[in-house]
Amino acid sequence: MFYAEGVDRADPNQVRRALRMFEEFIRAYRDPGDLGTPKQLDDIRVVLERDGFALDQEGRIAWSNPPVPARDPSDLSDA
């Protein structure tokens, strides 16, 4: 998981690339014929859920509750 430590979480492009890499890893190690969930994938799912993501059956990662983009307050007309 050293790769994740180098991801700038404030940069949406870096976050997207990291999530795609994790999806590739999950799909590579997931056995579609296995009805159970291997412990490693279950561990990954728990960590993702703690960070606000969901892992579907196909190994795709998505926001559970997408964040609201920050807005520049300088263009507001009323405090």
Q: How confident is the model at residue 36 (pLDDT cuts 50, 70, 90)?
A: low
Mean pLDDT of 2-15: 81
Q: Is the pLDDT of residue 68 over 60?
A: yes
pLDDT tens-digit profile of 53-66? 898 888 889 888 87
User: Distance (Å, rounded) from C-alpha 16 to C-alpha 9?
Assistant: 10
The upper half-sphere exposure of residue 78, i.e. CA atoms within 13 Å in the direction of its Cβ, equals 0
d(CA 17, CA 4): 10
pLDDT of residue 9: 81
